[in-house]
Amino acid sequence: MTNTNIPHDQNFKNLFLDFPLETLEWILPETIQSFGPVIKYDFSRQETRKDKLADGHLALDIPILYTFRNNRKLLLWLVEFQEDKSEFSIYKLLRYTTDKMEAYPDALVVPTMIFSDRRQWRKDVARYLDAQLNDRVLLHFEYVFLKLYDLWARDYFDSPNPVVKILLPKMRYEPEERWEVIRQAYIGLYQLASRTLFVKYTDFIDIYAEIDAAERDQILREMDNRKETVMIKQILKEEGRMEGRVEGRVEGRVEGLVEGLQEERFKLLSRMLMKKYRRPLNELSILEGLCSEDLLELFDLMIDCESYSEIKEWIRQRKSGNIS
């Protein structure tokens, strides 16, 4: 059963605060191409002025100020709205946006509405405002609109972004796809985040997939014995989340690639494969079988090499013993 007292705003706030760069890459991927790399980011503590203190649809209000090369700035203003959409007002959003523009005159302010309710709408919300006299535009306002239920979870199984992986249960899927969505969320989060964040956000996944303890145990038992899923079971057991609920022992053992420094190098190279060479998650197994020293040497090679085919050939030769 879903807990109706879940602090949704705090869950989403923590997600975006823990993954600010990944949030920008997901919501506004074009900014990296246009502005270049982010050199720093800051979380604004300034609260948005509200018409009434009870304005619930601004429960989550996160301004993240990104600074790019040449000192260009962008304020990504995230508002998560999970209540009745009939309470949403684009006119209020415009007023709040102009407040942000006044507070951050040197930044491009990007208001972003994230609708997280898992149901199909019969009527859309207002997406833009226009005021025009003949050919003269007096006002044009729009915002970034994200309705998670409009996104099919299956289309994001290969995403290299941990924010997207965590949000899979909030997207749309067929009833028979539910367990695969949960499995993909677990595995993707494990591959893309630190152990601390993995443990933290498996709770997020469980909450929004509406998993009870018995059902989650059954899902974990039915997950195949890939190294990632075996490690996931072990981590959850160590955290005490499976104690007294999982019978027998967790089969399999964690081999070299998921131990200590080697685990961190494996995850780092996995992210480079996905981000630099645009490889899907199912190709990350190419790294298996490489020792810690191999992974370090491969990292140096990836920094300078633009060709994935050369990387793939290097790995093949190293595994065959043709490179010493």
The residues spanned by each domain of the chain are 8-150, 153-254, 267-320
287/315 Cα distance (integer angstroms): 8
137/277 Cα distance (integer angstroms): 43
Condensed to tens digits (0 to 9), the pLDDT of residues 211-245 reads 877 777 777 666 655 555 666 666 665 655 444 44
Query: By CB neighbour count within 10 A (0-12 exposed, 13-18 middle, 19+ buried), where does 109 fall?
Result: buried
Q: pLDDT above 90 covers what percent of the chain?
A: 32
The reported pLDDT for the residue numbered 148 is: 93
The reported pLDDT for the residue numbered 176 is: 92
- The pLDDT of residue 312 is above 80: yes
What does pLDDT average to over the chain?
Answer: 79
pLDDT greater at residue 56 or residue 186:
186
pLDDT greater at residue 4 or residue 157:
157
The reported pLDDT for the residue numbered 8 is: 63
**Model confidence band, residue 3 (pLDDT cutoffs 50, 70, 90):** very low
- Per-residue pLDDT, averaged over 29-40, amounts to 88
Amino acid (one-letter) located at 233: K
Are the beta carbons of 80 and 114 closer than 8 angstroms? yes
Condensed to tens digits (0 to 9), the pLDDT of residues 92-131 reads 899 999 999 999 999 999 999 998 888 888 889 999 999 9
**Model confidence band, residue 2 (pLDDT cutoffs 50, 70, 90):** very low
- Per-residue pLDDT, averaged over 55-77, amounts to 79
For residue 91, how many other CB atoms are within 10 A of its CB? 10
- The pLDDT of residue 137 is above 90: yes
Condensed to tens digits (0 to 9), the pLDDT of residues 153-208 reads 999 999 999 999 999 999 999 999 998 999 899 888 888 888 888 888 988 898 88
Which residue from 160, 248, 156 is spatially nearest to 233, judged by alpha carbons?
A: 248
The reported pLDDT for the residue numbered 82 is: 60
- The pTM is what? 0.68
- Per-residue pLDDT, averaged over 3-15, amounts to 67
**Model confidence band, residue 84 (pLDDT cutoffs 50, 70, 90):** low
pLDDT greater at residue 255 or residue 157:
157
